Amino acid sequence: MSIKYEVMKNVLATNRLQAAHNRDFLRKRKIYTLNVMGSPGSGKTTLIEALIKELGSSGKSAVIEGDLATSLDGERISKLGVEVFQINTVGACHLNAEMIHRSLSQMDLTDTAFLFIENIGNLVCPAAYDLGEELRMALVSTPEGDDKPYKYPVLFRTADLLVVTKADLLGAVEFNIHRAEDDARKVRQDISIFQVSAMKGEGISELAKHIQSQREKMPKKFP
80-89, pLDDT tens digit by residue? 999 999 999 9
**pLDDT confidence of 49, banded at 50, 70, 90?**
very high
Contact yes or no for 54/135 (Cβ under 8 A): no
Of residues 2 and 40, more confidence is placed in 40
Residue 223 resides in a domain: no
**pLDDT confidence of 219, banded at 50, 70, 90?**
confident
Whether the pLDDT of residue 11 is over 90: the answer is: no
Count Cβ atoms within 10 A of the Cβ of residue 26 and give its class: 0-12 exposed, 13-18 middle, 19 or more buried.
Answer: buried
What is the Cα–Cα distance from 221 to 61, expressed in whole angstroms?
Answer: 22
38: nearest Cα among 129, 125, 168, 131: 125
Q: Residue 163 belongs to what H/E stretch?
A: strand 161-165
Q: Enumerate the β-bridge partners of residue 60.
A: 112
**pLDDT confidence of 31, banded at 50, 70, 90?**
very high
What is the Cα–Cα distance from 181 to 164, expressed in whole angstroms?
Answer: 9
Residue 220 resides in a domain: no
Residue 197 resides in a domain: yes
Residue 222 resides in a domain: no
Q: Calculate the alpha carbon distances from 190 to 34, 124, 134, 193, 217 in Å.
A: 18, 21, 16, 9, 17
Residue 65 resides in a domain: yes
**pLDDT confidence of 3, banded at 50, 70, 90?**
low
Whether the pLDDT of residue 6 is over 70: the answer is: no
CATH (domain of 9): 3.40.50.300
What is the predicted pLDDT for the residue at 7? Answer: 57
Provide the residue range defining the domain that includes 111: 2-215
What is the predicted pLDDT for the residue at 82? Answer: 98
Mean pLDDT of 42-64: 97
206: Cα separation from own chain's centroid: 17
What is the predicted pLDDT for the residue at 191? Answer: 98
Using only C-alpha atoms, the chain has a radius of gyration, in whole angstroms, of 17
What is the predicted pLDDT for the residue at 111? Answer: 96
What is the predicted pLDDT for the residue at 42? Answer: 98
pTM: 0.94
Whether the pLDDT of residue 4 is over 80: the answer is: no
Residue 101 resides in a domain: yes
Residue 59 resides in a domain: yes
Amino acid at 96: N
Mean pLDDT of 51-57: 96
**pLDDT confidence of 222, banded at 50, 70, 90?**
low
- Domain count of the fold of the chain: 1
Residue 51 resides in a domain: yes
Amino acid at 59: G
Question: How close are the terminal C-alpha atoms of the chain, in Å?
Answer: 41
Q: State pLDDT tens for residues 160-204.
A: 999 999 999 999 999 999 999 999 999 999 999 999 999 999 999
What is the predicted pLDDT for the residue at 10? Answer: 82
For the chain, give the mean pLDDT.
95
